[in-house]
Amino acid sequence: GDLAASDPRVRCLRNERNLGAAPNYNRAWRAARGTYFKWLAHDDRMLPGYLEATVAALDAAPDAVLCNTVVEYIDGAGRHIGYYDSGLRHADHPSPAARFAAMILRSHSCVDFFGLVRRSAMENSLLHGPFHGADRAFLAQMALRGRLIQLDRPLVQMREHENRYTRRHASLVERMRWHDASRASRLVFPTWRLYGEYVKMVRGEPLPLAERLRCWGVLGHWWFVNWNAVRAGVDLAAVVAPGLVGVAERVKTRLFGAAPGHFHQPHSH
């Protein structure tokens, strides 16, 4: 509040009620006026030099639409846990289809949703959709629109704690409520919704015919990687067994370890 009062470049927007993450994030984007835009969760933080480095990278690459750095994970008290390299560099490619494949076929955390984005590339995009996996859909759409750049230095810190969204909200209903409070009672199939958004963007983005055909091939491949077909089945089964999503994720973690970009917190003594 004090900073907003002293600097006209800073504006503080408050909602009268809890809208959920998606409407809140999208309101911030609509109010933005700059060349570049970045979301940042309330419990994460940028390190000195983040904006300088990412702005310089995008200024130097007009065909790039998003830039992010390696992430340092910290715990709730700010203690170092580890570093996470999302592999965003795989989407730094001249082919839209290759970039699209890099973002939807690899197993990765969606930390790059919080990268610095060229605001013009976000026009008429999904922004933050009201469903689990919306960050993944946004990154896929940005990949169809331009190169995604990764810087090797860890210039952003993200927190791993028990109140993190993916830890705290196990059921589809809870996740729906977190994303959009107005849609909490709706029946939702997030894996199917995510795939549907992929289909719509491949159909709707202005791509050369050869690239569009390659993207259709990528979408066919999608069903056979990262347990996506199983996830789609769990969505359907969760209608009658709401706790199944959490159970499936715990079993997967036990068998294969934590998902990329997720760390087990060290026990405090």
What is the reported pLDDT for 13? 92
Tell me the residue length of the chain. 269
> Residue 33 corresponds to which amino acid?
R
Asked if 141 and 128 touch (Cβ cutoff 8 Å), the reply is: no
Q: For the chain, what percentages of helix, strand and coil (3-state, to nearest 5) are there? A: 45, 15, 40
Q: Give a yes or no: residue 12 inside a domain.
A: no
CA dist., res. 201 & res. 263, Å (int): 32
- What is the 8-class DSSP label of residue 182? G
User: Phi and psi of 144, rounded to 5°?
Assistant: -70, -20
204/2 Cα distance (integer angstroms): 44
**Residue 205 located in a structural domain:** yes
**Bridge partners of residue 64, in order along the sequence:** 147
- Structural domain contains residue 164: yes
Domain assignment present for 81: yes
Q: How far apart are CA 44 and CA 209, in angstroms?
A: 41
User: Which structural domain, as residue segments, surrounds residue 166?
Assistant: 20-256
Give pLDDT, residue 1: 61
Q: What is the pLDDT of residue 262?
A: 59
- Cβ pair 253, 101 in contact under 8 A: no
Phi, psi of 46 (to 5 degrees): -85, 145
145 within some domain: yes
pTM over 0.85: yes
What is the predicted pLDDT for the residue at 169? 58
- What whole-number distance in Å separates Cα of residue 135 and Cα of residue 59? 24
The pLDDT tens digits along the chain (269 residues) read 677 788 888 899 999 998 889 999 999 999 999 999 999 998 999 999 999 999 999 999 999 999 999 999 999 899 999 999 999 999 999 999 999 999 999 999 999 999 999 999 999 999 999 988 999 999 999 999 999 999 999 999 999 877 776 666 566 667 777 777 777 656 678 899 999 999 999 999 999 999 999 999 999 999 999 999 999 998 888 776 766 666 556 555 565 555 566 555 444 43
- What is the rounded CA–CA span in Å between residue 115 and residue 148? 10
Q: Domain total for the chain? A: 1
Query: For residue 161, is it within any domain?
Result: yes
Decide if 215 contacts 96 (C-beta within 8 A): yes
State the amino acid at position 102 in one-letter form.
A
- The reply to whether 8 falls in a domain is no
Could you tell me which residues come within 8 angstroms of residue 48 by beta carbon, excluding any fewer than 6 positions away? none
Is residue 7, in this structure, part of any structural domain at all? no
